[in-house]
Structure 1
């Protein structure tokens, strides 16, 4: 029988032991996007813009739906902590049905790119055609990606993440091979550019799902839970949606800053759009460290909550916060010292590189608050608290970050904080700089609000012994 990890004595050590496979797997996953950007960046500016816009649209859809599926993590983790192993396996099967339903919804959203591209102003017809082809491939990949996320969620919930890490690492090799073939052509295939990157993702995502299902059948830790796909039950779907919809909304709000920034910054031209994609990729890559630590902290906290070990849950959460803060400081030292080599690795286009270097000036500031926002949100989800964080994120991330960034960057008050933008990011396009500054302000406000609510949860525990 699989044992619940012990975290009472040294929570930080247990968090790190659980986090490193999540981190390696997450970095392997983000390498998909890095490979796409770096390889398409060596074709032409039209393909790079098409992939930047198409990737922004796909990530908006996928991350929102992935957040709903990730409701499985606290649900399964609490079952696991309470030793309700059969219930944990049943919950996974219900998550499979949810993922299939969400795939239909998400696929429909991806097949109408003109609705999204209307935010970007005048886009060249060739760019629109390539965006549409890229998104068709990813719509076909979406079911496999979301189904694999149910496996990922179960593995994370029971602290058995090394198998998923191995699958993610192995997928890089196939992604590189298929990218090279489909993007640049060869062996009788014409170069496909950005569309080829989408086709490569389609093939590799289905390979990853096959490997994940094989792992479930072979790994003893998963077989202990007896994972099975029964008939969908409304009671279980309602529990998943009650937690998953606010979580999906939170994920969606978080990623919308990147997606809508990409769509709006496209108004500044091809080269600004490419530079924006480089910065967005880099921020996403840096985010993997706090995300892995936060996921590990949240799964261990949820296991302790399920076992009614509230002091352990509280101690684990506080240690997780300290680890994420330390990781953010170390990451920022790298961001400050290695900007030029980073940009050189992404592109050979001199005009894109110049703009990217000006935008990267905000990366250390943005990453710190991104990390703080991540750990605060994940800890609350461990207690199955998702609605209040969603409300706070709507107010801060959407109101201040997204709407405020548009209003001051490209809307009626465009240029109002141009002096601040020039001070923060000298030489950067004012609209793009404004969007990033306001997004950072929204993250900072959200982090403070979420930490405040977490303190409220801990006080409630002390007063009433209420785990939620």
Structure 2
């Protein structure tokens, strides 16, 4: 087995092992989120209506995609534990079942995206032109969904067996094609019609299928993956139940996290086009920053699951704590960059003065927001390494959904509108009442989620160590 599974690995070596696996995941995630950054920046320079349409429709797509992606990510701890236990044939068989699951989920997701009016009903009186562009953008992204979800099974495989550079390389190349196709489709270059936000969705569809083709070719030709005997075969209902038993609550946790941003976008739309644009910049930047703790969480969870599969609970615990320490250090560094680089960030996103003014008021809270986000992210991934997902889902629903999102609606748009203004003006001076209240309460919800998840993680670790001691 790999050196990282040695029981004698000290804490510092665990940190280094996580960092070695996390940096390709981080670059891969940054490359993936660059799709959204490119769409936001390039449609922002097309027109405010295109930016508003992209903001609303991207929120819908991300909600659907991330929720379904979370179900597929049940493959990561399952495959990692099989890999850690030396069950290579099981890895290949379970990966194939993940492909079947991704295909089935893409049908459900596509159906949800074809009815944008149901989503926009929460946004008040959206301009007809913006509404039409939202529908067109989502139709284009429906074509991307099957390829994107099946590609996530390749991502899960590479992560679980400590080979994250596979997806990193594909995603880096995909960003180049995405930028080129955005330029062609959004602005109508080389004789093509200018499609605005719809062009951004069409370019995502093309690049998603290209990435899937590259990923399937690599895993079928790389000698490293030959040991797993990767195969799709027929659907195995026992394996599907195992994936869904872990994947559904995992997908629910992912959905709770992203739904907060989705419904924030839909509610903030009531405050006008410029507030939508400013909120979108804030959301996009928060998602970009989230990639570092997410990468550390994924790396920590995969190595922790490998240690669990190999029957080394003390190493699993040490790896988890090393991941938390590394995540806290990375979050502090990111917060410093965000605080000092705000003017450059705004100029990169938009040249519209009114959109930039709104975004500037919201960005004042993002360093503290990111610290809370990072800690809740890593704790949730560590719990998934132990195949624990139901209780974390309940905790996140309470903290992020009821307290964070519900409180944001109450103080921003509900009967208590304006009652949070003292705190809002302290941390986000000059921000719109609705958007500012939503972001403040979202930050508080993340902090509560981080605390609750860490308490439960410590409980699971103690139970695991006690069970091992009793067995011995």
TM-score under structure 1 normalisation? Answer: 0.98
**Equivalent residue for 1:258?**
261
| 1:371 equivalenced with 2:374 (yes/no) | yes
Shift of 1:221: 2.0
For residues 41-60 of structure 1, what are the structure 2 equivalents within 5 Å?
A: 41-60=44-63
Q: 2:149 aligns with which of 146, 149, 159?
A: 146
Shift of 1:416: 1.3
In 1, the alpha carbon distance for the partners of 2:310 and 2:469 equals: 13
Asked if the contact 2:297–2:382 (Cα under 8 Å) also holds between the matched residues in 1, the reply is: yes
Shift of 1:345: 0.2
| 1:227 equivalenced with 2:230 (yes/no) | yes
| 1:343 equivalenced with 2:346 (yes/no) | yes
**Equivalent residue for 2:444?**
441
* Aligned-partner SS, 1:120: coil
Asked if the contact 2:113–2:138 (Cα under 8 Å) also holds between the matched residues in 1, the reply is: yes
For residues 32-43 of structure 1, what are the structure 2 equivalents within 5 Å?
A: 32-43=35-46
Q: 2:325 aligns with which of 312, 322, 325?
A: 322
Q: 1:167 aligns with which of 170, 182, 193?
A: 170
In 2, the alpha carbon distance for the partners of 1:461 and 1:185 equals: 58
Name stretches of at least 5 consecutive residues in structure 1 with no aligned partner: none
Q: 1:358 aligns with which of 348, 361, 375?
A: 361
Number of positions where the alignment pairs a residue of Structure 1 with one of Structure 2:
466
**Equivalent residue for 2:467?**
464
Q: 2:399 aligns with which of 376, 396, 400?
A: 396
Q: 1:385 aligns with which of 388, 392, 397?
A: 388
Asked if the contact 2:144–2:208 (Cα under 8 Å) also holds between the matched residues in 1, the reply is: yes
Asked if the contact 2:70–2:251 (Cα under 8 Å) also holds between the matched residues in 1, the reply is: yes
**Equivalent residue for 1:198?**
201
| 1:217 equivalenced with 2:220 (yes/no) | yes
Shift of 1:464: 2.1
Shift of 1:3: 4.6
Deviations 1:334-390 (A, max 9, x none): 011010110100000000001100000010011000000001000000000000100
For residues 174-193 of structure 1, what are the structure 2 equivalents within 5 Å?
A: 174-193=177-196
* Aligned-partner SS, 1:465: helix
Asked if the contact 1:365–1:440 (Cα under 8 Å) also holds between the matched residues in 2, the reply is: yes
In 2, the alpha carbon distance for the partners of 1:399 and 1:366 equals: 18
Deviations 1:44-95 (A, max 9, x none): 1110000000000000000000000000000000000000000011000000
Q: 2:30 aligns with which of 27, 32, 35?
A: 27
**Equivalent residue for 2:158?**
155
**Equivalent residue for 1:421?**
424
Q: 2:298 aligns with which of 295, 318, 331?
A: 295
* Aligned-partner SS, 2:122: helix
In 1, the alpha carbon distance for the partners of 2:309 and 2:149 equals: 26
In 2, the alpha carbon distance for the partners of 1:17 and 1:423 equals: 40
* Aligned-partner SS, 1:119: coil
In 2, the alpha carbon distance for the partners of 1:17 and 1:133 equals: 41
For residues 74-93 of structure 1, what are the structure 2 equivalents within 5 Å?
A: 74-93=77-96
In 2, the alpha carbon distance for the partners of 1:415 and 1:223 equals: 61
Deviations 1:147-170 (A, max 9, x none): 000000000000101111000000
The CA RMSD over aligned residues, in Å, is 1.1
In 1, the alpha carbon distance for the partners of 2:464 and 2:147 equals: 40
Shift of 1:466: 8.1
Deviations 1:84-113 (A, max 9, x none): 000011000000000000000000000000
Asked if the contact 1:6–1:14 (Cα under 8 Å) also holds between the matched residues in 2, the reply is: no
TM-score under structure 2 normalisation? Answer: 0.97
**Equivalent residue for 2:409?**
406
* Aligned-partner SS, 2:416: coil
In 2, the alpha carbon distance for the partners of 1:348 and 1:222 equals: 47
Asked if the contact 1:369–1:443 (Cα under 8 Å) also holds between the matched residues in 2, the reply is: yes
In 2, the alpha carbon distance for the partners of 1:203 and 1:466 equals: 53
